Amino acid sequence: MHVDPDEPPPRPAPAEYWRRNLRYLAVLLTVWFAVSYGAGILFAGPLNAVRIPGTGFPLGFWFAQQGSIYVFVILIFVYVFLMNRLDREFDVDEEDAAGARRARRRAPGADTEPAP
């Protein structure tokens, strides 16, 4: 089998990309469900025995009102981090695409900006 050195390496299968993306989503949504439903509703009674220092609010109440929102925002940042890493691994990240667009604009004979 002859391998052409000018040919780019084969890209991983799109099915693997989506399988890992769905696995990330499943794990992150499970964490969110556990925090919002579990800590805010199912375990609110036992958690209410703990008071947040300085406020006096019961911990179960805090999770139901604020904690699940904070966890959701944190999970968004975790998802962005994981997907950026996955995109780079599968060579589909936006940074490479933006760099390729900039290179085309600087190419000789490229007098006009391409339409967005």
Per-residue pLDDT reduced to its tens digit, 21-39: 999 999 999 999 998 888 8
37 within a domain of the structure (yes/no): yes
- Distance in angstroms (rounded) separating the CA atoms of residues 31 and 5: 45
Q: Give the residue numbers spanning the domain of 42.
A: 14-88
5 within a domain of the structure (yes/no): no
Q: Residue 83's closest CA among 5, 2, 23?
A: 23
Q: Provide the token pair at 12.
A: 């991983």
**Contact (CB, 8 A) for 101 and 23:** no
111 within a domain of the structure (yes/no): no
Number of structural domains found in the chain: 1
Looking at residue 74, its pLDDT comes to 97
Section 5-19 average pLDDT = 77
Section 56-75 average pLDDT = 90
Looking at residue 50, its pLDDT comes to 92
Looking at residue 73, its pLDDT comes to 95
pTM of the shown model = 0.67
35 within a domain of the structure (yes/no): yes
